């Protein structure tokens, strides 16, 4: 499935809390749907000491409370300036991001001066629409400056990928409304309430768009009530469908279409020490799990993780499973799985790096992986196995030599870039701060010895020459700071 953001491409879906008993919407509700202009700065992972390039785009948002404007995270990610325009007005209002959730592509904004927005209608959040029910789509499609109105039908409710982070899956609603390239972040209307936020589409299908449904929206709004966003919790297990009759017979499971095989349990996750590979999971919070790993909620079959999706850190779920031929009922306390962010695109963060005698070291993440297109098998395995095989327990950061800025001290070092650091001066590396300390001791060693995974020989740098080399490299390549260790 080729999913794409609708910000900068042309979708805006608009809805209101005003009743749709009449066929036409009251004109004043359009004031509560705002146009968002974002000036953004994209971090430069190729040369991480640079500030990055500037860009811009257009999105939309809608008023859901007193100085609370809901939109997509991808509309305002990496924003350096936000300006909001009200429908029918030329005035641009400065705005700021109060909360942003990249894992579910939602953000909450406020304007510096809300006085002009007093008395605007406020959008009420509705429920989950039924299949084949109609929604109203209002937007600013490419090719014009004024609003256009279309209708569509809810064609699918599913648990699917969110393209903004590239690593998260949540509940989504598919609609068949005609969605043209343009803006995103606006609401979808049914029965006078917002039942979703437009956020992505498909490049390989016409008249197909996706909206973030209200369970995801409500969870985000509840999460930020305490003044911060705490992210999703995770069951931290991988499961395998049990379709095959022979497999079910081998596992001594009845051929009743229920239950999934636990294939992996993530270290330090919610189920670590409770579930184990080859266990059979049959229900969650009393909801039977079918052999495809789905449960029935609100009349629709969705992934079993939808139960976990609606909970927060410290909440519990009841699991029924079979282990070693014995049935168990256990209460599991849920917690986040921050290590999973290795596979998510990062925003609002400056790249971390160390420049040492012209050698540039960076911790591996998806931003860097996408930029550098690593071919080294050691690096690719470390990236792939970071979460499922628990590599994060011994390597919080996977440090990679990403480039070498030419200097006499590092001549004849071709063939080392793109490889992961194993040891520095005999010490195994587990994060970037430790590496920085080893490379910058109070008393330099005679030689710095840097061992890379898969390299035939170590890199040897004379300790007494490092300070002069750093000064030359910093001056030659206009590097303001030789390191950034903080996210």
Q: Which residues are identified as catalytic?
A: 74, 105, 184
Q: How far apart are CA 371 and CA 357, in angstroms?
A: 23
Backbone torsions φ then ψ of 368, nearest 5 degrees? -70, -40
H/E element, 237 = strand 237-240
H/E element, 249 = helix 245-250
Q: Work out the end-to-end distance of the chain between its first and last CA atoms, rounded to an integer number of angstroms.
A: 32
Q: How far apart are CA 48 and CA 353, in angstroms?
A: 7
Residue 472 half-sphere exposure toward CB, CA atoms < 13 A:
14
CB atoms within 10 A of CB 281: 24
Contacts of 23 (CB under 8 A, 6+ apart): none
Are residues 179 and 196 in contact, defined by beta-carbon separation less than 8 angstroms? no
Are residues 389 and 441 in contact, defined by beta-carbon separation less than 8 angstroms? no
**Helix, strand, coil fractions of the chain, as percent rounded to 5:** 20, 40, 45
Handedness of CA 263, 264, 269, 271 (dihedral sign): positive
3-class state of residue 90 by DSSP: coil
What the block records as the tokens of 334 is 């849920």
């Amino acid at each position: 499935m080729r999913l794409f953001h609708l910000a900068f491409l042309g979708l805006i879906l608009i809805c209101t809390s005003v009743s749709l008993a009449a066929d036409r919407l009251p004109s004043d509700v359009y004031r509560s749907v705002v146009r968002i202009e974002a000036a953004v700065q994209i971090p430069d992972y190729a040369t991480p000491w640079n500030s990055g390039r500037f860009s811009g785009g257009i999105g939309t948002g809608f008023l859901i409370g007193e100085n609370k404007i809901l939109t997509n995270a991808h509309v305002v990610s990496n924003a350096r300036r936000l300006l909001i325009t009200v429908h029918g007005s030329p005035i641009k209002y400065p705005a700021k991001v109060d909360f942003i959730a990249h894992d579910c592509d939602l953000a909450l904004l406020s304007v510096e001066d809300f006085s002009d927005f007093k008395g605007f209608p406020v959008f009420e959040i509705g429920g989950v629409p039924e299949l084949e029910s109609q929604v109203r789509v209002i937007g600013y499609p490419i090719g014009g400056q004024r609003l256009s109105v279309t209708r569509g039908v809810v064609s699918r409710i599913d648990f699917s990928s969110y393209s903004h982070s590239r690593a998260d899956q949540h509940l989504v609603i598919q609609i068949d409304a005609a969605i043209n390239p343009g803006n995103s972040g606006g609401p979808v209307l049914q029965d006078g309430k917002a039942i979703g936020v437009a956020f992505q589409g498909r490049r390989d299908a016409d008249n197909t768009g996706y909206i973030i449904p209200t369970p995801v929206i409500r969870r985000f709004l509840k999460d930020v009530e305490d003044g911060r966003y705490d992210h999703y919790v995770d069951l931290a297990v991988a499961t395998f469908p049990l379709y095959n009759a022979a497999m079910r017979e081998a596992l001594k499971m009845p051929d009743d279409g229920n239950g999934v095989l636990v294939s992996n349990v993530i270290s330090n996750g919610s189920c670590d020490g409770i579930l184990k590979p080859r266990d059979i999971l049959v229900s969650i919070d009393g909801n039977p799990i079918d052999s495809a790993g789905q449960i029935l909620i609100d009349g629709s079959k969705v992934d079993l993780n939808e139960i976990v999706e609606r909970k927060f850190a410290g909440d519990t779920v009841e699991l029924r499973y079979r282990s070693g031929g014995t049935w168990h009922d256990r209460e599991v306390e849920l917690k986040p799985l921050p290590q999973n962010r290795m596979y998510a695109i990062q925003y609002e963060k400056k790249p971390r790096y160390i420049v040492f005698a012209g050698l540039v070291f960076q911790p591996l993440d998806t931003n860097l992986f996408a930029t550098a297109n690593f071919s080294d098998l050691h690096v690719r395995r470390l990236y792939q196995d970071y979460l499922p095989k628990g590599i994060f327990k011994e390597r919080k950061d996977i440090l990679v030599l990403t480039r070498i800025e030419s200097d006499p001290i590092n001549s004849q070092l071709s063939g080392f870039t793109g490889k992961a650091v194993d040891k520095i001066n005999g010490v195994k590396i587990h994060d970037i701060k430790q590496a920085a300390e080893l490379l910058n001791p109070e008393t330099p060693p005679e030689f710095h010895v840097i061992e890379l995974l898969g390299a035939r020989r170590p890199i040897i740098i004379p300790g007494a020459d490092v300070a002069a080399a750093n000064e030359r490299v910093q001056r030659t390549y206009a590097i303001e700071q030789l390191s950034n260790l903080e996210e």
